[in-house]
């Protein structure tokens, strides 16, 4: 997953958070580094959903991200809690 373009878009748009979702196997170290970098470069919450977030919950949380799982109701709760409305 290319993380660098995401940080640039967040800066240009003044986004309040980043929401990623995945369902595939990923490289855990790349995920850890990518989320850490996004957090450092943007200062906004990084939420990760889908089955990828269930599989890599510890990695996501170690990187400072928020694993929201694959339940839409729970995901919506996390969005409302961590990303302020404008």
CATH number for the domain harbouring residue 10: 3.40.50
DSSP letters along 2-56, please?
Answer: --HHHHHHHHHHT-S-EEEE--S---HHHHHHHHHHHHHHH-S-EEEESHHHHHT
With beta carbons less than 8 A apart as the criterion, state whether 2 and 27 touch: no
Single pTM value for the model: 0.90
Domain count, the chain: 1
Per-residue pLDDT tens digits of the chain, which is 86 residues long: 678 899 999 999 989 999 999 998 899 999 999 999 999 999 999 999 999 999 999 999 999 999 999 988 988 888 888 887 76
- The range of the structural domain enclosing residue 40 comes to 4-82
Cα distances (Å, whole numbers) of residue 19 to 75, 84: 10, 13
């Amino acid at each position: 997953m290319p993380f660098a373009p995401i940080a640039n878009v967040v800066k240009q748009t003044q986004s309040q958070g980043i929401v990623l979702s995945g369902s595939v196997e990923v490289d855990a170290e790349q995920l850890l580094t990518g989320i850490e970098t996004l957090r450092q470069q943007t200062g906004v919450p990084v939420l990760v959903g889908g089955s990828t977030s269930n599989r890599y919950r510890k990695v996501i949380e170690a990187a400072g991200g928020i694993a929201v799982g694959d339940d839409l109701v729970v995901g919506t709760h996390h969005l409302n809690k961590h990303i302020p409305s404008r």
